[in-house]
Amino acid sequence: MKNIKRNLSLAVFSLTSSVLLSQNLDEIVKKHIEAIGGKDNWAKVKSLKMENAIKANGAEIKVTIYQIDKKAMRQNIALMGMEGYSILTTTEGWTYMPFQGQTKPEAMTADDVKKAQDGLNLQDEFLTYKELNKKLELIGKDDVDGTECFKLKMIDKDATETTFYIDPSNYYVIKETRKMTVNGKEMENSTTYGNYKKLPEGVVYPYSIASGWGETEVTNLTINPTIDESLFKPTTPAAK
């Protein structure tokens, strides 16, 4: 009888804990979405132009991103007196990196294009994870530079695992750690976010981003600019 009672108690505790964790997860996601401007404001974001200054290994890199939601993205990269770019659409992609020795645009493989598609979403990941069939769970709390954060793990269809750390004082993501497999090897990259700003359109973006490859400052951000779709076609800049 004691064993039955104990097992019943454990089952009830397990079920209750599971329900509470689910409720807490839903509440955290809801407050995060509210903190970054709300679902309705984000639904109005159809295009973006973002100018960035990156400091990496003693060099300054200028990167300008043009993006149309779920359709196409281009990153213009200025480095060492040269200009390159990467382009991604729903069906194709190209890179042109003269500072890496490329003399003409090179097409991305079909597999790389497929894997990169999530990057075409302008919406915050917590707004799109269900429709993209990603799994999300609350795995506890953890310290990030003295701040005890909610720790959430998201796993996508390719088994890429991302852990998000959400500051409970404002429900912003202040750090994420992504695990992925590249050429058969597991890699991990951490990114921190700060200097969140609310734009006139009501959405909130981090203007400071830091990771292992350098520190990024967003110098200008425009929501819903008109973007000429010819930008998403590969060209080779004329020699100077």
Task: Read off the tokens for 34.
Answer: 């509210």
Tokens of 1: 């009888």
State residue 214 phi and psi, 5-degree precision.
145, -175
| Planar angle of CA 48, 53, 59, nearest 5 degrees | 145
pLDDT of res. 48: 97
Token representation of residue 131: 């429709």
**pLDDT score at 183:** 65
Planar angle of CA 115, 127, 77, nearest 5 degrees: 50
- In the structure encoding, which two tokens stand for residue 206, read together? 């981090």
With contact defined as beta carbons under 8 Å apart, do 172 and 165 qualify? no
Residue 100 backbone class (left: φ over 0; alpha: ψ -120 to 50; beta: rest): alpha
Which of these, 221, 223, 219, lies nearest to 52 by C-alpha position? 219
Strand partners, 146: none
Q: Both ends of the chain: CA-CA distance in Å? A: 87
Picking from 193, 212, 217, the residue whose alpha carbon sits closest to that of residue 57 is 212
Q: Tell me the HSE value of 231 on the side-chain side, using a 13 A CA sphere.
A: 19
pTM: 0.84
- The amino acid that residue 134 corresponds to is K
Spatial contact of 190 and 213, defined as CB atoms under 8 Å apart: no
The b/e string for 97-113 (b: 16+ C-beta within 10 A; e otherwise) is bbeeeeeebeebeeeeb
Domains of the chain in start order, with CATH, are: 44-232 (2.50.20)
Q: What is the pLDDT along the chain (240 residues), one digit of tens a residue?
A: 434 434 434 433 333 334 434 459 999 999 999 999 999 999 999 999 999 999 988 888 999 999 999 999 999 999 888 899 999 999 999 999 998 888 899 999 999 999 899 899 999 999 999 988 999 999 999 999 999 999 999 998 888 899 999 999 999 999 999 987 666 777 788 999 999 999 999 999 999 999 887 899 999 999 999 999 999 999 876 554
